[in-house]
Amino acid sequence: MAKRLLTTLNLSYSEAWGLLFRAAEIKNANYTSDLLAGKTIVMIFEKASTRTRVSFEIAVNQMGGKTLLMTRHDSQLGRHEPIADTARVLSRYADGLIVRTYAHSTLDFLAAYSDIPVINALSDDFHPCQILSDMLTITERTPDLEKVRIAWVGDGNNVAHSLMQAAIYFPFELFMTFPKGYEPNTDIIGNCLSLGAKIYMTYDPEEGVEDAHYVYTDVWASMGQEDEQEKRAEIFAPYQVNEELLAGAHPDCKVMHCLPAHRGEEITDEVIEGPRSIVWDQAENRLHMQKAILEWVYGNHDYHQYTVTTKHGKHQAFPHAPF
Ligand code: CP
Ligand code: NVA
């Protein structure tokens, strides 16, 4: 069956860790590849994108492949051709789909009705490629994730859901902080907790960021929620990531944002431009991780080869992979 990356849960434990190791290798080597030579990947983008679209297009290009962009405006998608029909047709032309959409079910349909790889480039519910590259940004600074505390401050949205799923695979502590009524999806919370994620939840931003090594925020109104912008701005105001809030975080705390950012709303100009901000490294790492993801989809990289060195010597990186 064709590979799918609809949520992080499509990865095995070893593959999720392996993607981090591999993306770091790709970043630090003079990486060249012709893995995608002769392949054309259709990019269906129903929402705007700078980082995800451009990094995927450049990654595909640098790996020898070609991309073709399809939006609602210039295809029959905007004229209500069923997703299932689109999936079956594109399957016969292309070698893969990279899809940014609204309802996550659109991705499920595309995957169900096509027999080519499908990658989620953001849906209303998940943003797996973002969070995988964010894990690279974090491990570059703090490789021992057992000792890492991450605080999410803001909406319980797509990026938040993928971060929670990452906590299933990686042993950091995650403090989720959001206003009442803007909690993450309860089924997703339950699923992550039952699979071993160390997730704690609070409505109190000060409690949420206490001693955090990383504070992560995102827009208060995601794409598709523009009508709620004003109402949300009022409700989320106490959740702004500013110097005052960060005073309670770990002294070396770094600040993360998937971008695009709304300065003066979820994050202050001072913080995003300040020394704690690692948002540009996050954005850069998208490109390296997209290449690693494309290799996972189209290659046969061995993700069990990686080793870690502890005080007891060198070990296979995942000696006790739970799944
Ligand atoms: N972070 C992110 O996905 O950015 P874009 O919306 O620009 O792709
Ligand atoms: N939560 C944001 C992320 C953008 C990358 C959105 O969905 O608009």
Is the model's pLDDT at 46 over the cut of 60? yes
Cβ atoms of 145 and 120 within 8 Å: the answer is: no
Predicted pLDDT at 305: 79
Q: What is the pLDDT of residues 13-31, one digit of tens each?
A: 889 999 999 999 999 999 9
Token pair for residue 40?
């054309």
Burial label, 28 (beta-carbon count in 10 A; 0-12, 13-18, 19+): exposed
pLDDT above 70: percentage of residues in the chain: 95
Residue with tokens 């080597």: 29
Is the model's pLDDT at 322 over the cut of 60? no
Q: Give the pLDDT band of residue 98 (cuts 50, 70, 90).
A: very high
- Which is the closest atom of ligand 1 to the Cα of 258? 1
Superfamily of domain 142-277: Aspartate/ornithine carbamoyltransferase (3.40.50.1370)
Predicted pLDDT at 323: 45
CA-nearest residue, atom 6 of ligand 1: 49
Q: Give the pLDDT band of residue 156 (cuts 50, 70, 90).
A: very high
Residue with tokens 């290798």: 25
Q: Give the pLDDT band of residue 1 (cuts 50, 70, 90).
A: confident
Residue with tokens 């593959």: 15
Say yes or no: CB of residue 283 within 6 Å of ligand 2. no
Whole-number average pLDDT of the chain: 94
Q: What is the pLDDT of residues 248-285, one digit of tens each?
A: 999 999 999 999 999 999 999 999 999 999 999 999 99
Residues with a known catalytic role? 100, 127, 130, 218, 258, 286
Q: Give the pLDDT band of residue 320 (cuts 50, 70, 90).
A: very low
- pTM value is 0.95
Alpha helices, H only, the chain: 13-28, 51-62, 83-93, 104-113, 128-141, 158-169, 186-194, 205-209, 229-236, 243-246, 269-272, 279-298
Cβ atoms of 230 and 250 within 8 Å: the answer is: no
320 contact partners, CB below 8 Å, separation of at least 6: none
Interatomic CA distance for residues 69 and 53, integer angstroms: 9
Nearest ligand by distance to the CA of 45: 1
Alpha-carbon Rg for the chain in angstroms: 19
Q: Residue 76's CB: how many other CB atoms inside 10 A?
A: 13
Annotated domain spans of the chain: 4-127+285-310, 142-277
Q: What is the pLDDT of residues 218-229, one digit of tens each?
A: 999 999 999 999
296 contact partners, CB below 8 Å, separation of at least 6: 3, 5, 11, 15, 18, 19, 22, 303
Give the alpha-carbon dihedral of 245, 226, 72, 120, to 10 degrees: 30
Average the pLDDT over each of 108-117, 296-305, 306-315 and give the range with the smallest value. 306-315
Predicted pLDDT at 181: 98
Predicted pLDDT at 140: 96
Q: Do domains 4-127+285-310 and 142-277 have the same CATH topology?
A: yes
Mean pLDDT of 222-247: 98
Cβ atoms of 116 and 94 within 8 Å: the answer is: yes
Q: Give the pLDDT band of residue 319 (cuts 50, 70, 90).
A: very low
316 contact partners, CB below 8 Å, separation of at least 6: 304, 306, 307
Q: What is the pLDDT of residues 175-199, one digit of tens each?
A: 999 999 999 999 999 999 999 999 9
Q: 79-88: long-range contacts (C-beta < 8 A, 24 or more apart)?
A: 83/109, 83/110, 83/113, 84/109, 84/112, 84/113, 85/113, 86/110, 87/111, 87/112, 87/113, 87/114, 88/113, 88/114
CA-nearest residue, atom 6 of ligand 2: 222
**How far from 35 is each of 121, 159, 184, CA to CA, in Å?**
20, 29, 38
Pocket test for ligand 2, best of 218, 229, 286 (most atoms within 8 A of CB): 218
Mean pLDDT of 202-218: 98
pLDDT above 90: percentage of residues in the chain: 89
Pocket test for ligand 2, best of 123, 127, 164 (most atoms within 8 A of CB): 127
Is the model's pLDDT at 55 over the cut of 50? yes
Assign domain 4-127+285-310 to a CATH class.
alpha beta
Q: Give the pLDDT band of residue 44 (cuts 50, 70, 90).
A: very high
Interatomic CA distance for residues 239 and 97, integer angstroms: 36
Interatomic CA distance for residues 227 and 221, integer angstroms: 9
Cβ atoms of 128 and 292 within 8 Å: the answer is: no
